[in-house]
Amino acid sequence: MRKVFSFSLPFEFLVLLSYGEILVTCLTSCQEKYVVKGNTWRYAKEGEFPWMVSLQHVEDASVTHFCGGSLAAPHLVLTACHCLVIHSVFSGTAKPFLTEASSKVVVAGTLNNNRSDPNHFRTVVGISEFIIHPKCQHFNHQDPDDRGGWDYDFGLVVLKKNLTFDGKRFAPFRLFAWNKFDLKKDLDRQMGHHVECVATGWGKRRVRYPNGSLIDDDGHDPRAYWPQMTVLQVKLDDFASCYNILCAFDKAYCEVDHWWRSQLCATTEGQMEVCYGDSGGPLMCGSEKYLFGLVGWGPSCGKYKVPSVYPTIYDGLDFIKRYVSRDHTRLRTMNVGHDSLNCCYNVCNVFLFNNL
């Protein structure tokens, strides 16, 4: 297993070895990120994010969380492409290779990933296949420090059985609009006003605490994936601010054009950030918690005050709609309260998202 942290680049890829093959849990300044404790950090509330799921790797009798995702349809999960592929740095090409779906499961309907806790209901569903955006590729597969994340970082997980949407335990993610013009217009408005958004996940808290300790004040090891779903408050940055900060942090990032790559940047107060294990989870804005991006990549995991980067849902919208349409499931956006489904499904013979 490669190191997960270095001083030259805080995020590197985290890989899992299983059945003799290298599987991703990419964390390059990208995949598994997490939510760190601080004054903008809290636990998720029951029924608050019913679309949130945990992607887990199964080996023998153990399961390990590796990425987050959001329900898009009764048996379709939206996550990051890099969560579903073998990292291209090992193959010598920018083209990704899908990992084995049969050794993964989706855990839904719960805030707690601790299987030994009998008080928390959960639903575990097998996976039939992975689908990635046709343009998904690593930004610079020849960079040994893996800076820049992925382009078109969207992936879909097809479940072996449908989940029943009830609006409380299971529900699809919400979009401000299902047409790109309105979605982009609102996204630009949100960025221009540096609005506050939230990211959710079960990722690690941080690599190491400022005093050098590996145990937090609650007695937990921050290097371990957090069993309870956490919510991190972040603030959107405009493209120019994001570019200037990252470029000053590491000259290699001067080559990364977030505007052209349709990627969002967001920062937090203090030493807190998304981190390993949060990749693929949702970035949500507004009181209705509209999905605007996915947890993608970033160079600090809370150690340095630099932005993390999220692929915008705008860039993956056509990809998502293509598969929703193919499965004869119609989505529409509704202006309804939090307890109602913002994205409703009318099903006919049912079936049924670049590193930001």
Q: Which two tokens stand for residue 276?
A: 């390993």
Q: What pLDDT shows up at residue 246?
A: 80
Other beta carbons within 10 angstroms of residue 193's beta carbon come to: 11
Q: Helix (H) and strand (E) counts for the chain?
A: 3, 21
Domains of the chain, earliest start first: 14-347 (2.40.10.120)
Distance CA 274, CA 271 (A): 10
* pLDDT in 10s for each residue of the chain, 356 residues: 333 332 222 332 222 222 222 222 233 333 333 344 445 778 999 999 999 999 999 988 788 899 999 999 998 999 999 999 876 544 455 567 788 899 999 999 999 887 766 666 889 999 999 999 998 887 765 555 556 678 889 999 999 999 999 988 999 999 998 988 998 888 888 888 888 899 999 988 655 445 555 545 455 565 678 788 999 888 888 877 887 878 787 777 777 665 555 788 887 875 667 888 899 999 999 888 999 999 988 776 766 677 888 999 998 999 999 887 654 343 433 322 333 333 333 222 222 222 32
| Alpha helix positions (H), the chain | 180-192, 239-249, 313-326
Q: What pLDDT shows up at residue 158?
A: 96
Beta carbons of 140 and 147 less than 8 angstroms apart: yes
Q: Which two tokens stand for residue 133?
A: 């955006």
Q: What pLDDT shows up at residue 93?
A: 56
Q: How far is CA 115 from the centre of its chain?
A: 22
What digits encode the pLDDT tens for the residues 236-286?
888 778 878 787 877 777 776 655 557 888 878 756 678 888 999 999 998
Q: What pLDDT shows up at residue 260?
A: 56
Q: What pLDDT shows up at residue 142?
A: 54
